[in-house]
Chain A
Amino acid sequence: MSEPLTEVTDADLDAIEIGAAILGTGGGGNPYIGKLRCREELKKGNIIKVIPLDELPDDALVVSLGGIGAPVVGIEKIEEGEECLRALRAVEREVGKTVDALISVEIGGANSMEPMLTAAQAGLPVVDGDGMGRAFPEMQMCTWSIYGHREAPAAMADEKGSIVVIRDTPDDVWLERIARSVVVTMGAAAGLASQPMRGEFVKRAAIPGTITQALKLGRAVLDAQANNVDPVQTVIDQENGKLLMTAKIVDLERHLKGGFAVGHLSLEGFDDFHGDTGRIDLQNEFLVFRRNDVVEACVPDLVVVLDSDTGLPITTEMLRYGQRVAVIGLPAHPLMRSPEALKVVGPAAFGYDDITFTPMDAS
């Protein structure tokens, strides 16, 4: 796949679903429903055109969008279908400009699919890149916000036809708070589009090539399964990752804190890690991995939990006692590891004042 990706077809969707779930590091919502929706758009004759990040004109206007809500609502109250499109149109009306391309705010999980299907509906291309390179629980944790773009004015649309425009906020943390309370009133599912960005900024701030990355990751897993090759090792090789532990989940604790599922899982190693203990802390996504009480990987690097046999990703909602898993670390993009980024997405931003971020590949 040396040629840049210019279109996503039906044959790519299964792989992107798996790749996006891996990059979701346990959270981000299940991309299955988004995959089906993309498939329906393609059946209508719409196409998912992809524009490589470096081919984006400097003066192009790009809108970042995605679904906002609770993952469990997403699998029960499926969207009407054009929520993100209505949010996009509302932002265009608000700023009085026409948008040229869309981009995903978060490639990990369900929001990998939402911009692709909205792009198909709008007849716009989707940029091969995103604002996180993974999944994070809050909107200000994206590179647009970190590198100086302001999300407001942003628009939210629900399935009933309501549109809420958040015209201005002191910062993106307040935007996240207000949007969060709006989405609860809307029934915990809505589309959100934020203020257009210039192509020149997107080229600097986006994590590049992440649709291609999700596609390649998913294909690697599917090919490994088909050829009886170890899918876990395949994922590691593909992404320059590291096997952190093969282990069995021996304890699982989850509770609610500030609206997020917070908790940890305890691990007992097997194979090369026999005799080791491990622990993963989670807040919707997997945040910190420790082996024998030493931190070996933490946000913004990706802590990924895969089924040790199939290589398929396990989300925090699917975790259960006794599962045999492979914990792997994937390095975050340098844009997520800069001092500015670490203030927003580093361990301290999640309450780990005692952990200093050390890139997983540096040890």
Chain B
Amino acid sequence: MFRIGVDVGGTNTDAVVMQGDQILSGVKSPTTQDVMSGVVDALERAIADAGINNSAITAVMIGTTHFTNAVVERRHIARTGAVRLCLPAAQCLPPMVDWPNDMREAVGNHYWMAKGGNEFDGRSISELDMAELDQIAAEIGEAGIDTLAITSVFSPVSDAMEQAAKARLAARLPGVDFTLSSEIGRLGILERENAAIMNASLRALSHHTVSAFGKALEKVGLSCPYYITQNDGTLMSRAFVQAYPVLTFASGPTNSMRGAAFLSGKSDAIVVDVGGTTTDVGALVKGFPRPASTTVDVGGVRTNFRMPDVFAIGLGGGTIVQGAGENLKIGPQSVGYRLAQEALVFGGDTLTTSDVAVGLGLADFGDKTALQDLPDAHLKAIKARTDNMLLNAVERMRVSADPIPVLAVGGGSILVPDRIGDLPVIRPEHFSVANAVGAAIGQISGEVDRIYSLESKSREEALSEARQDAEAKAVAAGANPETITLLDQEDVPLAYLPGNATRIRLKVVGEMNV
């Protein structure tokens, strides 16, 4: 029984072959323009290195930045219709009102506001008006739009209106894809609606990408199922990612943090992922990245996804060092992928952090004699400064006084000292392919975020009801029911609301059903 993890990054496509907890092989391959040939190459090499037979591979897990990049670059975005069920409420701020103009233009700025929506306690704001929906269906058909996002006020409390509107529109618009906001986001209508519209706009790309991954696997001769990783470190089936591509946003940092946890055997730690230009620092809690508490912009669009809380600093293996003494300046500019030409040890004329590591004997590559004119004190001063940058970033993400370890991963992790403050640093084996490992070990999750009234039921009953819903979601997404455990649970009392209303967020995870 083998599984393969693949991470398709902007620069490299990494692949690892795993058997149980063992890593049999790990390779890095340049990401190609068409993406798929890079995936094929990485898969073929990883399988060959592991020396195993294709038929013994049970699953492939893929982490990809493809959908995030599509939004950031405004490419492969489909014309999308946004239908909001809200009237008479919420008409002062139409859908996409706070989007950057170029992104709004990319999806076409087609929206309709209609009667519907719920109050916080489940009452209707107004009933759905079927004649109004039929009129909207006619206009959508006229405009030739084939992907829609439906958002109803308080749909995280009751999704009945979104479902009913979908049924009405679908009957009149055969072949159209639907995204319901209640299936994607939490309370906060603008952010949830934004996510639903972006999701709808990525559905065509998602169909294309998922089938292209399928073809890549076919080309390699793999017939096993494959999964895509989502931003909370869990897996989505191919059908699921076709329906919810936005859930892949920010899965890259998540995979590297989860991979670091696995490789080191530590579930509570600070992860320092040093790349060429930046260092991402995050916190692992029970093996999962701690989520950010604020809204997160994706390509300038505000969302309220559960994204990992990552603090990025301008320090990497290619970071440019200038000046000395009082005027010493480190980054944020980097030579990036030109490190092998521009760094001093590689015959270039730019002093980089990698040169400093070589000069101090922390790393051994290139031509060390190129550094002989640099005084040792200068190198040490630079190192002291970069150590301090890392210390500040780690302290920022640290959540307790407990002496949890720092896990150093990524190609530039030679820059990380052996201790950061009072915390020991661990450099796990295979650290450079931690993200592909993170993909390979993905789990299946189920999440609930809803307001409960504690008037007719106790808090324990509400939590138990929420947990059952979350477990049902996890099982529907492909989890083995027997392995499901509670990952995170939070309830926030809601000020001003009667009946002891409380908002419960709860998440369970389980092993994938393979």
Contacts and interface: CB of A to CB of B under 8 A. Distances in A.
Interface of A: 33, 36-37, 40, 69-73, 75-82, 137, 159-161, 180, 183-184, 187-188, 248, 250, 254-256, 259-261, 268, 270, 284, 309, 317-318, 320-324
8 contacts: A33-B190, A40-B97, A70-B120, A71-B496, A80-B91, A137-B495, A188-B496, A259-B497
B189 interface: yes
Contacts of B153: 76-77
A314 to B, nearest CB: 9
Nearest to B503: A72
Given A36-B93, A77-B154, A322-B398, A187 B120 contact: yes
Contacts of B92: 37, 40, 78-82
Given A187-B123, A309-B396, A40 B93 contact: yes
Given A72-B494, A78-B189, A259-B497, A159 B88 contact: yes
Contacts of A180: 496
B187 A284 contact: no
Contacts of B211: none
B187 A72 contact: yes
Contacts of B492: 254, 261, 317
B340 to A, nearest CB: 32
Given A256-B495, A323-B293, 19 more contacts: A33-B93, A36-B97, A36-B98, A36-B190, A37-B93, A70-B497, A72-B120, A72-B497, A72-B503, A75-B188, A76-B154, A77-B86, A78-B189, A159-B90, A188-B120, A259-B496, A260-B496, A261-B493, A318-B293
B90 A78 contact: yes
Nearest to A73: B120
Given A36-B97, A78-B189, A80-B91, A70 B494 contact: yes
B118 to A, nearest CB: 9
Contact of A69 (B93, B451, B496): B496
A75 B187 contact: yes
Interface string B91-121: 1110001100000000000000000010110
Chain B contact residues: helix, strand, loop or mixed: loop
B89 interface: yes
B495 A259 contact: yes
B115 to A, nearest CB: 11
Contacts of A137: 495
B80 interface: no
A70 B125 contact: no
Contacts of B389: none
Contact of B493 (A36, A187, A255, A309): A255
Given A33-B93, A76-B189, A254-B492, A320 B293 contact: yes
Contact of A261 (B126, B396, B451, B495): B495
B404 to A, nearest CB: 12
Contact of B494 (A261, A309, A323): A261
Contact of B399 (A80, A161, A309, A321): A321
A38 to B, nearest CB: 10
Contacts of A261: 492-495
Contacts of A270: 395
A66 to B, nearest CB: 14
A260 B117 contact: no
B189 A75 contact: yes
B194 interface: no
Contacts of A254: 492-493
Closest 5 CB pairs of A and B: A81-B92, A322-B399, A256-B493, A70-B496, A78-B90
Contact of A81 (B91, B293, B502): B91
A161 B496 contact: no
Contacts of B322: none
B33 interface: no
Interface in B350-406: 395-396, 398-401
A256 B502 contact: yes
A256 B503 CA distance: 12
B418 to A, nearest CB: 23
Nearest to A318: B293
Interface string B474-514: 00000000000000000011111110101100000000000
Contacts of A318: 293-294
B400 A250 contact: yes
B251 to A, nearest CB: 22
Given A76-B154, A180-B496, A268-B401, A187 B90 contact: no
Contacts of B120: 70, 72-73, 76-77, 187-188
A75 B156 CA distance: 13
Name which of A254, A259, A261 has the most chain B CB atoms within 10 A of its CB: A259
Contacts of B503: 72
A8 B130 CA distance: 42
A78 B93 contact: yes
A161 B87 CA distance: 12
B496 A79 contact: no
B89 A256 contact: no
A188 B187 CA distance: 15
A180 B495 CA distance: 12
Contacts of A160: 88, 125-126
A133 B32 CA distance: 58
A308 B88 CA distance: 41
Nearest to A307: B294
Contacts of B189: 75-78
Contacts of B125: 77, 159-160, 187
B131 to A, nearest CB: 20
A250 B401 CA distance: 9
Nearest to B285: A322
Contacts of B98: 36
